Amino acid sequence: MDEEPTYNDLKQTIVRLENHVSEQHQLAVTLEESHARFKTIIESAIHAIVVVNDRGFIVEWSSQAELLCGWSRDDIVGKPIYSLMPKKYRKNHKSILPMVLSGARGLDFGKRIETSILNRNEFEVPIELAVSLTRVGDRQEFNLFMHDITERKNHEAQLRQMSITDDLTGLFNRRGFMAMADHQLQVACRKKDKIFLLYADFDNMKWINDTHGHQMGDNALIETAEILKKTFRQADLIGRVGGDEFIVLITNHENKNPLENVLTRFEKNIAQANGQQNRKFKILLSSGTVHYDHDEACSIDDLMIKADNLMYENKRQKKASGQYSHI
């Protein structure tokens, strides 16, 4: 027969229960403090922080994430993370998620990745993204740290544009023209488009500079650039590749005599400019134009050499026939 618990036994049991309740209370306080600390860190961080569970659903959403993505916490928590992804990334994300959970894509953690997210208003925002993995009980959670790099990307684009653009005329400089022309030549070759390269040199630039000053010479170059823009299509590449040398890559002209037509338009536009009253100089250009032969592949450099040689031959013919006239 079991003995009745004594007073001391009951007292000890009560003390143990009180200690247990006290420990549980302290644990609850500690957890509450940790949660409050966690929320404070998330809300005060300069990065947009998003926590995603192992099924790919958003469970935490900071105020910076709301500013970046346009979604309020109430609207986005519980939605799949691919809601923030441009459509081009969604399929890949769904296939990679199991690999990330298994650790097969662990090398991605801690790295800064440049990508983009989809704002609620359906426009992409360039971001720098870092991902970490946290174990919560028997589950994994992803912590996404996102930083808007729109301003940096715009600045990089401006610097790149400046590096490939001629300051005076706004045309491509040599570096920019060569880079773009090489790509455009490859595309045109694949499509079997007609391809021409025109190389032009300003005949009387020295006379203009010596007679009217370099500011007038700059004005002549700017005016020539405008004539080129007026003559050729936006799809054609136009560059200033030397002090007074211009180059144009002409592609995708499907009419019967594309070169004759465009050169006629070019001469007409130059004549129209030279026909203006009270001009102090004429725009006089020597030029050479070559056609790309798809049966004899060559580089953009080869085309430039051929066109340059034809341009100098045109210049020699003008000098021999006395066609030069400064004004």
Domain count, the chain: 2
Residue 160 lies in a domain: no
Question: Which has the higher per-residue pLDDT, 323 or 205?
Answer: 205
Please indicate, yes or no, whether residues 311 and 174 belong to a single structural domain of this protein.
Answer: yes
8 Å CB contact between 147 and 48: yes
Domain encompassing residue 80: 43-152
Please indicate, yes or no, whether residues 192 and 314 belong to a single structural domain of this protein.
Answer: yes
Please indicate, yes or no, whether residues 84 and 201 belong to a single structural domain of this protein.
Answer: no
User: Residue 116 contacts by C-beta under 8 Å, 6 or more apart in sequence?
Assistant: 86, 124, 125, 126, 127
Choose among 96, 65, 93: nearest CA to 80. 93
CATH code of the domain containing 113: 3.30.450.20
Please indicate, yes or no, whether residues 192 and 299 belong to a single structural domain of this protein.
Answer: yes
Q: What percent of the chain has pLDDT over 70?
A: 83
Residue 29 lies in a domain: no
Alpha-carbon torsion angle 274, 275, 280, 283, nearest 10? 10
- Split at pLDDT 50, 70, 90, the class of 260 is confident
Please indicate, yes or no, whether residues 146 and 177 belong to a single structural domain of this protein.
Answer: no
Please indicate, yes or no, whether residues 49 and 170 belong to a single structural domain of this protein.
Answer: no
Please indicate, yes or no, whether residues 61 and 147 belong to a single structural domain of this protein.
Answer: yes
- Split at pLDDT 50, 70, 90, the class of 230 is very high
- pLDDT, position 42: 58
Residue 185 lies in a domain: yes
Residue 81 lies in a domain: yes
Query: What is the average pLDDT score of the chain?
Result: 84
Please indicate, yes or no, whether residues 143 and 199 belong to a single structural domain of this protein.
Answer: no
